[in-house]
Amino acid sequence: MADIEVRHTGQHSFEATNDRGASVRIGRKDQPGSFSPVELLLAAAAGCAAVTAETLITRRVGDGFTARAGDVRPEGAHQLDEVPVTLDYDLSALDEDQRATLETAVRRAVEQLCTVTRTLKKATPAPLHLPASASTTRHPPEGR
């Protein structure tokens, strides 16, 4: 199980680290040099699809493919309506049957194995845990 720690580093500035020593800066969408939380979600969706499909794609068409995820929501909304993921790679060296076979294999792999996009489709709960305050841990006086 992977845990990510996000530490406050300044006003509207945070750093996320994993147990392998990697880190990424997080901030508000206008914070220079950082990713916003939504951008990290989009990167996770595109990255998961890319990691999942990498071997299938590079084995057939070589290196140099890209993955993108879009932010689809009404202006000012605080919830995404959709996270479309696009994989882009050069199919010019493949005939029509090879293209169809690759498309089927990539689509199946991402739909079955990409944890991030599968989780987004499922709308997994994300409970918020806060420290217990003194008032919630105290017991009422006896006799009341």
Reply yes or no on whether the pLDDT at 91 is more than 70.
yes
Fold of domain 37-125: GMP Synthetase; Chain A, domain 3 (3.30.300)
Domain boundaries, the chain: 1-35, 37-125
Summary mean pLDDT of the chain? 91
CB < 8 Å & 24+ apart, contacts of 73-80: 80/38, 80/41
Amino acid in position 6: V
Reply yes or no on whether the pLDDT at 67 is more than 50.
yes
| Whole-number Å distance between alpha carbons of 80 and 83 | 7
Return the residue matching tokens 């939380």: 37
Band the pLDDT of 124: cuts 50, 70, 90: confident
The more confident residue out of 97 and 134 is 97
pTM of the model: 0.85
Per-residue model confidence (pLDDT) at position 133 = 76
In sequence order, the 6+-apart residues with CB closer than 8 A to the CB of 88 are 65, 66, 67, 68
